[in-house]
């Protein structure tokens, strides 16, 4: 490259809290910068003020539901011109500005790449119906992008059936830094007063089915020395704390310190993700990379990622299969060790951040070479 590639990243930041969509923006932009790409980060978090990012005004119902005022389109266009970017990459959903982005980028003659995070499932049910509605709403926007990053062939097929050109759809599964997320020493068992740890990391919201996990955990009646640690906040937290008041269950709330989350995963014997709907869970991939035996429902792309390296649960038989997995992992600790080894191998082989960045830079290279701009990077 004669000059560095310059990318405008439209994504999510938060000083408190975090989930997969925030982690994705943080990890990918850090990885791109480490490879020499200049990244200008557009977000809706005014608490972050630095020379590498630009905060846009918005009404934030949550970091996932952001109302962008009409003036933001003009501000974004002006900033993209001033920043002289070679390419725009948006992490959908960004805000109500999403639906203007193809026109904005087309008017500026800048390629537009989108990562489509909206979770999905092909079964019947409330959450799959909600996701299919969102897929239909976004299909026209995605059709206006130059490239769309999805996590699996199933997701690609769903969007192609809705009219998104297959030529713009690229399957690039999420990736995790397998050098940072890896087995290692941890003091978390001592901290929680446990001989063994099971864990859940993620939002405590209805579609995550954490209440089913907690009920199944208590049904198998594990010993007092085995703790189930739930890391995360959400709309269900207070209700779950009241309903499942047991010394073997620990609610940590949101943990923003990445080192602390890694320490918890390294100490864990098993990780559980009983969701009704997912895309491709970064929390699950992080647990796998840390060598933790992993149990997850066969929704979104999670089943494909885990099958053969952990327990994949049928969401239509969630309670019975959760209890069976818990009973086995409680009674036979060696199964945790064996599955943890397989999970680590799978994460390194197929779901590394390095592998994801290789694919993403390949997409960038093809677009920038196809639509060269005066003064842009030569790749």
Closest CA to 91 of 110, 68, 108, 112: 112
**Where are the CATH 3.40.50.2000 domain residues in the chain?**
6-175+352-370, 188-350
200-246 residue pLDDT tens: 999 999 999 999 999 999 999 999 999 999 999 999 999 999 999 99
Domain 188-350 has CATH 3.30.360.10: no
Residue 77 burial (CB count, 10 A) = 16
**Paired sense of beta strands 65-67 and 59-62, if any:** antiparallel
CA 2 to chain centre: 33
Element (H, E) at 128: helix 126-143
Q: Per-residue pLDDT for 299 more than 90?
A: yes
Task: Report whether 269 contacts 295 (CB < 8 A).
Answer: no
Tell which residue, 347, 17, 332, has the closest CA to residue 183: 347
Nearest to 311 by CA among 301, 321, 320: 321
Mean pLDDT across the chain, nearest whole number?
93
**In DSSP terms, which residues pair with 184 in a beta bridge?**
none
pLDDT confidence of residue 51: 79
If you average pLDDT over residues 37-65, what whole number do you get?
85
Would you tell me which CATH number, out of the four given (3.30.450.90, 3.40.50.2000, 2.60.260.20, 3.40.30.10), belongs to the domain 6-175+352-370?
Answer: 3.40.50.2000
Structure tokens at 286: 């992080």
C-alpha–C-alpha distance, residues 31 and 234, integer Å: 29
pTM confidence score: 0.93
pLDDT of the residue at 17: 61
Secondary structure of residue 119 in the 3-state scheme: coil
Q: 83-130, pLDDT tens digit by residue?
A: 999 999 999 999 999 999 999 999 999 999 999 998 888 776 777 788
Supply the pLDDT for residue 377: 57
8 A C-beta contact, residue 93 and residue 20? no
Q: Are 248 and 224 in contact (CB under 8 A)?
A: yes
pLDDT band at 168; cut points 50, 70, 90:
very high
| CA distance to 31, 175, 199, per residue, from 274 (Å) | 30, 21, 12
Q: What is the pLDDT of residues 353-375, one digit of tens each?
A: 999 999 999 999 999 998 765 44
Task: Check the CA dihedral 114-119-121-126 and report its sign.
Answer: negative
CB count in 10 Å sphere of residue 374: 5
How far is the C-alpha of 157 from the C-alpha of 14, rounded, in Å? 32
pLDDT at 347 over 60: yes
| pLDDT band at residue 249 using 50, 70 and 90 as cut-offs | very high
State the first-to-last Cα distance of the chain, in angstroms, to the nearest integer.
Answer: 5
Helix (H) or strand (E) holding 140: helix 126-143
């Amino acid at each position: 490259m004669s000059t560095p590639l310059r990318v405008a990243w439209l994504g999510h930041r938060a000083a408190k809290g975090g989930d997969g969509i925030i982690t994705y923006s943080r990890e990918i932009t850090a990885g791109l910068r480490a490879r020499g790409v200049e990244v200008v980060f557009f977000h809706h978090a005014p608490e972050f003020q630095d020379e590498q990012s630009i905060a846009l005004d918005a009404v934030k119902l949550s970091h996932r539901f952001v109302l962008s005022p009409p003036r933001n389109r003009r501000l974004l266009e002006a900033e993209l011109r001033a920043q002289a970017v070679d390419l725009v990459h948006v992490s959908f959903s960004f805000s109500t500005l999403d639906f203007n982005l193809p026109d904005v980028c087309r008017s500026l003659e800048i390629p537009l790449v989108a990562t489509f995070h909206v979770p999905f499932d092909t079964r019947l049910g409330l959450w799959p119906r909600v996701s299919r509605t969102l897929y239909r709403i976004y299909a026209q926007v995605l059709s206006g992008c130059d490239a769309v990053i999805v996590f699996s062939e199933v997701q690609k097929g769903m969007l192609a059936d809705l009219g998104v050109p297959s030529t713009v759809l690229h399957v690039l599964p999420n990736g995790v830094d397998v050098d940072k997320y890896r087995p290692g020493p941890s003091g978390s068992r001592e901290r929680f007063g446990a001989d063994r740890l099971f864990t859940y990391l993620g939002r405590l919201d209805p579609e995550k089915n954490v209440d089913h996990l907690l009920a199944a955990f208590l049904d198998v009646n594990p010993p007092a020395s085995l703790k189930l640690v739930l890391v995360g906040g959400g709309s269900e937290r207070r209700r779950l704390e009241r309903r499942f008041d047991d010394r073997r269950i620990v609610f940590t709330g949101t943990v923003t310190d990445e080192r602390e989350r890694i320490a918890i995963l390294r100490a864990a014997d098993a990780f559980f993700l009983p969701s009704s709907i997912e895309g491709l869970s970064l929390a699950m991939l992080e647990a796998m990379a840390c060598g933790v035996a992993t149990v997850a429902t066969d929704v979104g792309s999670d089943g494909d990622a885990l099958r053969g390296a952990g327990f994949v649960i049928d969401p239509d038989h969630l309670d019975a299969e959760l209890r069976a997995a818990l009973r086995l992992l409680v009674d036979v600790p060696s199964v945790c060790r064996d599955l943890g080894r397989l999970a680590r191998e799978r994460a390194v082989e197929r779901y590394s951040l390095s592998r994801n960045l290789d694919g993403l830079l390949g997409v960038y290279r093809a677009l920038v070479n196809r639509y060269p701009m005066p003064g842009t990077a030569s790749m």
